[in-house]
Chain A
Amino acid sequence: EVQLVQSGAEVKKPGESLKISCKGSGYSFTSYWIGWVRQMPGKGLEWMGIIYPGDSDTRYSPSFQGQVTISADKSISTAYLQWSSLKASDTAMYYCARQDTGSGSYNYWGQGTLVTVSS
């Protein structure tokens, strides 16, 4: 069974750093793109970026380029999303999702990680 399990909720202060994770299981982790999607409170879905764990090829939405870093450790089948200096506006639910082969659709999703940034 394909599963994406994300790390737990985080409460951070502005200026702090953070790295959240997404662990894949039940499939060949290195063979599928993993994307990250932001959902701010009460708002819609925003595509942030994507990584191919097989060779760490990474692409970012222009809106998020330079604001976050996406990485992966294929030895432990885990993708990451990190911030070097959080802002209050980073408060949101973050989802990872696996892209289907041959299609740009995300057919498997993690449960989401809620990040709260508040002083």
Chain B
Amino acid sequence: DIQMTQSPSSLSASVGDRVTITCQASQDISNYLNWYQQKPGKAPKLLIYDASNLETGVPSRFSGSGSGTDFTFTISSLQPEDIATYYCQQYDNLPLMYTFGQGTKLEIK
């Protein structure tokens, strides 16, 4: 099974800061990597799909990059409404399997 290692597990930053979260796969997953935001008491929301594609309607301060085993999620200028937990998720077609990272809880400093 493919393992995903997401870091850090928690992060405190100030409004306006650039924030970076990383996700590392235990083997090559090409660009089969998605990023989600989950606010307390809410369902997750897709932000980035296939490593670097911004989901429709998601603000452009969110971005993703990487391929193979190493991936990065970036918020270019942190806003108060970005306080949430962020998850990476990989998927594999053969066999059909999905794995979430452990999550990164983002707080305002």
Contacts and interface: CB of A to CB of B under 8 A. Distances in A.
**Is this pair of chains taken from one and the same complex?**
yes
Interface of chain B: mostly helix, strand, loop or mixed? strand
Interface residues of B, number: 28
B87 interface: yes
Interface stretch (A13-21, A73-81, A84-92, A98-106): A98-106
Interface in A26-53: 35, 37, 44-47, 50
Q: Which of B36, B50, B97, B103 has the most CB of A within 10 A?
A: B97
Contacts, number: 68
A103 B49 contact: yes
A61 B98 CA distance: 8
Interface of A: 35, 37, 44-47, 50, 59, 61-62, 95, 97, 100, 103-107, 109-112
Interface of B: 1, 32, 34, 36, 38, 43-46, 49-50, 55, 85, 87, 89-93, 95-103
